[in-house]
Amino acid sequence: MKYRILGNSGLKVSSMGLGCMGMSFSYGKPADKKEMIDLLHKAVDLGVNFFDTAEIYGPFTNEILLGEALSPLREKIVLATKFGFKLDPSGAARWVGVDSRPSHIREVVEASLKRLQTDRIDLLYQHRVDPSVPIEDVAGTVQQLIQEGKVLHFGLSEAGPNTIRRAHAIQPVTALQSEYSLWTRGIETEILPVLEELGIGLVPYSPLGRGFLTGKIDASTTFEENDFRAMLPRFTQEARLANQALVDELSLIGHARNATAAQVALAWLLAKKPWIVPIPGTTKYHRLVENMGTVNITLSAMDVEILDTAAKNINIVGSRYPDSLEEMTGK
């Protein structure tokens, strides 16, 4: 494994982290708990030290899983979790809005610490911007938690450039977590320059396009009823058929490099900036090995240019979220 520093923070993490959401939530039936504990242990054995979760994943079950699996290995790992959603008060496993009130942030942190079986959260993200709470109040609350030793680093997710600047002025932001991949490049124009200017790392989620860029999903693929992708415009059968052209480019370069399409997609991200740390998720050991093996693949400048040109010239069909969810990003 190779390692990177997130921006100017000094936080050293494996060049490829592990997004853990899919182990418990969003992609069909939750995986077997014992199998996932074993997978998490194997990730540590491979040198992975950066693990990403959130209270909303489940809700709660993913944090519980990581707490049980990783608490014995706590000194070897960097734990990232998130606050910022309002859960259904009826107890139903769903969120009903955003909530970054200072009192709520503290409630979430205390609960997350217990579920994760730890005394500190290495990287705490605001999961989504709350337009009703000034970001200065959010940053100030996290700053207090840092002073208390309950949190070590502050992060944002899907925040726009103005929000990033305002938050960073109160409490330095270690990392921004936003969707970024060859087929989702909306942050390149305004966000990436701000991150570079301020010394903030980028943690791309869904770096494999929720599995599509692996080449293992095509127009004939069917999704379980509780698979989040079934409701996404970019995953309709027509969109998958149209978007196959990008996967074909990945496979072409991969064939020349003795690499998979997934590895090329991840290597493209690593080649973009030294402070970018993708967090692909998986529930399968062979995929874990495949993804983490990307750190030993170096794309040439020509490879990157070919992929950039292909992504620019291929019209990606379908928005990444339904309109109701897209409105919650990029504030």
Instruction: Tell me the catalytic residues.
Output: 57
Tokens of 190: 């305004």
DSSP state of 229: G
Element (H, E) at 291: helix 285-292
Question: Torsion-angle region of residue 125: left (phi > 0), alpha (psi -120 to 50) or beta?
Answer: beta
Q: Nearest 5 degrees, angle CA 299-CA 301-CA 306?
A: 85
The answer to whether the beta carbons of residues 157 and 177 sit under 8 Å apart is yes
Helices (H), 118-260: 135-147, 161-170, 191-198, 237-257
Q: What is the DSSP letter of 314?
A: S
Question: What angle separates helix 301-313 from helix 237-257, to the nearest 10 degrees?
Answer: 170
Give the pair of three-digit tokens for residue 55.
Answer: 């209270």
Q: What's the CA gap between 182 and 259, in Å, rounded? A: 17
The residues that bridge with 78 in the sheet, in sequence order, are: 50
Per DSSP, which regions of the chain are E strands?
3-5, 12-14, 18-19, 50-52, 78-83, 85-87, 95-98, 121-126, 151-157, 173-179, 201-205
Q: Token pair of 88, please?
A: 């259904």
For residue 82, the Cα-to-chain-centroid distance in whole angstroms is 11
End-to-end CA distance of the chain: 35
